A = this chain, B = another copy of it.
Amino acid sequence: MLSAAAKQFRANGYAAVSLRAIAKAAGLTTGSMYYHFKSKEDIVGEVLFQGHLIVLDQVKATLDNIATDDHEARLRGAIKTHILCLFGEDSLPAANIRIFSQVPQEVRSGAMATRRAYEALWIGLLEQAQRAGQIRANLSVPILLPLMLGAINWTTEWSNGDEDSLETIVTELMLLIQR
């Protein structure tokens, strides 16, 4: 149900997707939706929240399996995981990325907390890698992060998302930031 919504938000944007379309894709009618959610904003709010949560959890899980001092592998793993989430099957994360700025402001504010948590994770990751000499010293992490995440998030606009292409992209990103 959320994933039916996410799939369409991702493909068409927030306003273009009607409750009828979501309901139909989920095998329900409009009326039934209002038993689970109290409005369209409520649905999209949940999509945003879950979307963030999924990437955050996945990246954390990836990092848990990599030695804390292998900064190259940690960076590469985090980037790869983020991008895999974007192109994943019924991607709440991708919908999140795509429609975040189209959504009514109250909804956006509600999704800010998890977003900050995710960014904090990345800041720590990049700073540690830089201290260890993995990332070039002349780069500024607070600017680098949004630029890098932007480059990654934008791939949904031009990449077809097949495994080889994604691997190439990750490699190029690593070359860009590495010492």
The chain A residues found within 8 Å of chain B, CB to CB, are: 12-16, 100-102, 136, 138-140, 143-144, 146-155, 157-159, 168-169, 172-173, 175-177
Known contacts A13-B14, A13-B15, A176-B139; decide if A154 and B150 are in contact (CB<8 Å): yes
| Nearest chain B CB to A149 CB, angstrom units | 8
Interface of A is mostly: helix
Chain B positions within 8 Å of A149 at CB level: 154
Give bound CA distance, A154 to B156, whole Å.
12
A143→B155 contact, CB < 8 A: no
A12-B102, A176-B177 known; 19 other A-B pairs, CB under 8 Å? A12-B15, A13-B14, A13-B16, A14-B15, A15-B16, A16-B102, A100-B157, A139-B176, A140-B168, A143-B168, A144-B172, A147-B151, A147-B176, A150-B150, A150-B154, A150-B157, A151-B151, A151-B154, A154-B154
- In the complex, the answer to whether A158 meets B146 with C-beta atoms within 8 Å is yes
Complex interface: chain B residues within 8 A of A138 (CB): 175
Bound CA–CA A127/B136 (angstroms): 23
* Chain B residues with CB under 8 A of A176: 139, 144, 147, 176-177
Q: Tell me the complex Cα distance, A160–B102, Å.
A: 17
Given contacts A15-B15, A177-B176, contact A153 B155 (CB under 8 A): no
The minimal Cβ–Cβ distance linking A138 to chain B, given in whole angstroms, is: 6
